[in-house]
Amino acid sequence: MTPAKMQQQTELMYRTNRVRTKSAAWLWSLFRYVIIIGISFIIIYPILLKISVAIMDKQDIYNPTIFLVPQHFTWDNIKMAAEVLNFFPALGTTLLYVVLTMLLQAASCAMAGYGFARFSFPGSNVLFMLVILTILIPTSTLMVPMYLHFRNFDIMGIIHLFTGKDGVNTINTLTPSIITSMTANGLKSGLYIYIFRQFFKGLPKEIEEAALIDGAGGFKTFFRIMLPNATAPLITVMLFAFVWQYNDTFYTSLFMGEAELLSNKIASLPAHASAYINNALMIASPGAEPDPNHVAMVVDTGILLAILPLIVLYLFVQRYFVESVERSGVVG
Amino acid sequence: MRKIKLTLSQRRMILGLVFIAPWLFGFVFLFASPLLQSIQFSLNKLTITAGGYQLEYVGWSNFKYALFEDATFNRLLVESVGAMAVNVPLILFFSLFSATLLNQKFPGRSLARSMFFLPVILTSAAVSAAESAGLLNLLGDANAAEEMSGASGQFNTLSLMYILIDAGVPEVFVDYLVDAVLRIYDIISSSGVQILIFLAALQSIPGAMYEVAKIEGATAYESFWKITFPMVSPLILTNIIYTIIDSFMQSQVTKTVYSTAFESLNFGLSAAMSWLYTLVVGLVLVVVGALVSRKVFYQN
């Protein structure tokens, strides 16, 4: 074989190899897109379905040829669901409640996380194990004592000591939620403390030493230097706290069962929607039975209305959230 | 008044205690004392009175009742452990797979990421309860269209099952897979947080490791099992524990505990039930933790 021919052959080999790796990469990226689009579709399909139901007229329910795009549009379902849910007042109360608990939880958990990450005091490791314990013990174990505790609220018998009366009934007020979130013992607080601790552990110690030399005290260092650096875990924790508190039925049904909160309203929505439609029918034509599918339509629309604020919020913060995932200290 | 001189480390100690003081206060009064009380309640019969409650010691009878006499409790307990055993591997596998996908560079990655995290926002006990009560079955049902046109546009699970069984795949495994496919939405919607944790872990793996492996001639498959998997394995343990706890939180047992307390007003029984449940969860966590942590690779 002449050297020229050999070179030709190696070149050919290189070229086929390149074509092969290129087509493999292309196939893989096609496969990846198919999978990602598929999973994304599964995730948003229920939302699409609810949107479709929300704007669909009653007469389209039994038309089997309709899929996602309705033939007759109407706002009736949305109006009805909003009325059954008492939507805007309930949303206002919910937002107020959720934002309040979110801020308190983020503040108390950030402080605790910082305390565990940066200071060593006798038993600090044992105490941190106890934080993990709060994540592990099912909340239902504490349910009854917590309820009785807040039904008869009295810290260390102070009220009894001074007034001679028994404690105050704080059920169905904001007090239980404020107290639990202020003391970093609210919904999933252990997880938030953990996230903050991991993040603060990852920050270089030199920052604080510099602040100490410049004469900043512990709190000043925390608020002026550590917190502004902690936007990533703050956003993550605040989003989680907001969303989980918004969706929570455990604490709300336990402490605020009678409050005008959307999670309470959604839980009782099927019954209320059916009663509402029944009432409307009774006025129009006595003796008529409500169509269960119509009730289901209103329920679905109500669910959509309730999760809509979360979706809108997510659209705004998802960029920070997705970015913060890369830098937050979720890693153990 | 004389000022007490403290060393720097003593001052730091006190400062640290001040930072965790809110949590410590909350822990003692809102976690530890209810926990002890709950043990006490489980051994007593509790009656609510006008000014509080009264206890009447009954020994182990609440536990005996929950385990041997209550019609549904032990069945629910076993069922929730069974459901967990089915779900945890699926969720873990799915979330590791999705995190690996989302960690690769491709156009539209941030859009895909925000899509995959959407379920974290949307999982809600209230919504799922209302959804199961809503009975909208006719809408958008591909079966109706199928019957009318005679064409099959839907994914046919039955034929897939036959194909797999014919191919010699064990029947148990086929059942498991088909079940997973049918519940894909549940699995996706409960793996949001796990995807997040895995993704963060994947991003902390230095890229140089993959480069070295590539130069040494490792395939993508090899570098996954030799680099990615060991590096994320500590987080696999974290995720297993998180998933187990999460799946128990949403189980029927929690609802039974709640309704026993606040609908039947049998607080003692409810406390006993929740303690049995806690013991089962704890046992599962210890067993799984011990098994998995043997296989976990730690860098140091």
Q: What is the DSSP string of A247-292?
A: H--HHHHHH-TTS--HHHHHHTHHHHHHHHHHHHHHHHSTTPPPPH
**Is this structure's pTM higher than 0.90?**
no
Could you count the other beta carbons within 10 Å of the beta carbon of residue A86?
14
Closest residue of A to B241, CA-based?
A136
Please state whether A156 falls in left (phi above 0), alpha (psi between -120 and 50) or beta: left
Sign of the Cα torsion A274, A275, A277, A282 reads positive
d(Cα A234, Cα B128) in Å, to the nearest integer?
28
d(Cα A87, Cα A272) in Å, to the nearest integer?
13
Those residues with Cβ within 8 angstroms of residue A180's Cβ, 6 or more apart along the chain or in another chain: A186, A187, A251, B26, B30
Distance from CA of B194 to the nearest CA of A (A): 10
Q: What is the ipTM of this complex?
A: 0.80
Contacts of B140 in chain A (CB under 8 A): 49, 52, 66-68
Instruction: Name beta bridge partners: A136.
Output: none
Distances (CA, A) of A58 to A46, A54, A67, A302: 19, 10, 14, 15
d(Cα A187, Cα A177) in Å, to the nearest integer?
9
| CB nearest to B38's CB, from A142, A152, A306 | A142
> A20-41 pLDDT, tens per residue?
888 888 898 898 899 999 989 8
- CB-based contact A330:A309 (threshold 8 Å): no
Instruction: Convert B221-252 to b/e letters by CB count within 10 Å (16 or more is b).
Output: eebeeebbeebbbbbbbbbbbbbbbbbbbebe
Closest residue of B to A274, CA-based?
B134
d(Cα A296, Cα B277) in Å, to the nearest integer?
34
Helix (H) or strand (E) holding A79: helix A76-85
d(Cα A178, Cα A182) in Å, to the nearest integer?
6
Show the tokens assigned to B220.
């993508």
In the predicted model, residues of chain A with pLDDT beneath 50 are 329, 331-332
CB contact, 8 Å: B300 with chain A? no
Sign of the Cα torsion A36, A38, A43, A49 reads positive
Kindly determine whether residue B201 and residue A218, on different chains, have CB atoms separated by under 8 Å.
no
Distance from CA of B46 to the nearest CA of A (A): 11
d(Cα B67, Cα B30) in Å, to the nearest integer?
28
- Going by C-alpha positions, the residue among A177, A178, A174, A158 that lies closest to residue A166 is A158
User: SS3 for chain B, per residue?
Assistant: CCCCCCCHHHHHHHHHHHHHHHHHHHHHHHHHHHHHHHHHHHCEEEEEECCEEEEEECCCHHHHHHHHHCCCHHHHHHHHHHHHHHHHHHHHHHHHHHHHHHHCCCCCHHHHHHHHHHHHHHCCHHHHHHHHHCCCCCCCCHHHHHHHHCCCCCCCHHHHHHHHHHCCCCHHHHHHHHHHHHCHHHHHHCCHHHHHHHHHHHHCCCHHHHHHHHHCCCCHHHHHHHHHHHHHHHHHHHHHHHHHHHHHHCCHHHHHHHHHHHCCCCHHHHHHHHHHHHHHHHHHHHHHHHHHHHHCCCCC
Largest CA distance in chain B: 95
Show the tokens assigned to A67.
């899929």
Instruction: Name beta bridge partners: B46.
Output: B55
Contacts of B283 in chain A (CB under 8 A): none
Could you count the other beta carbons within 10 Å of the beta carbon of residue A129?
10
CA angle centred on A135, ends A129 and A138, rounded to 5°: 125
CA angle centred on A207, ends A203 and A211, rounded to 5°: 145
Instruction: Name beta bridge partners: B52.
Output: B49
Closest residue of A to B35, CA-based?
A142
State the angle between helix axes of B73-103 and B109-122 in degrees (0 to 180), rounded to the nearest 10. Answer: 160
10 Å CB burial of residue A78 (0-12, 13-18, 19+) is middle
Instruction: Name beta bridge partners: B81.
Output: none
Residues 174-213 of B with CB under 8 A from A: 184-185, 188-189, 196-197, 199-201, 203-204
Distance from CA of A8 to the nearest CA of B (A): 25
Kindly determine whether residue A299 and residue B133, on different chains, have CB atoms separated by under 8 Å.
yes
CA–centroid distance for B2 within its chain: 55
In the predicted model, residues of chain B with pLDDT beneath 50 are 1, 135-154
Coil, helix or strand for A90? helix
Q: Name residue B87's amino acid.
A: N
Coil, helix or strand for A226? helix
pLDDT of residue A156: 59
| CB nearest to B25's CB, from A67, A183, A295 | A183
- CB-based contact B184:A42 (threshold 8 Å): yes
Show the tokens assigned to B283.
């046992």
Closest residue of B to A141, CA-based?
B274
User: SS3 for A157-201, per residue?
Assistant: HHHHHHHCCCCECCCCCCHHHHHHHHCCCCCCHHHHHHHHHHHHH
d(Cα A266, Cα A278) in Å, to the nearest integer?
18
Kindly determine whether residue A322 and residue B285, on different chains, have CB atoms separated by under 8 Å.
no
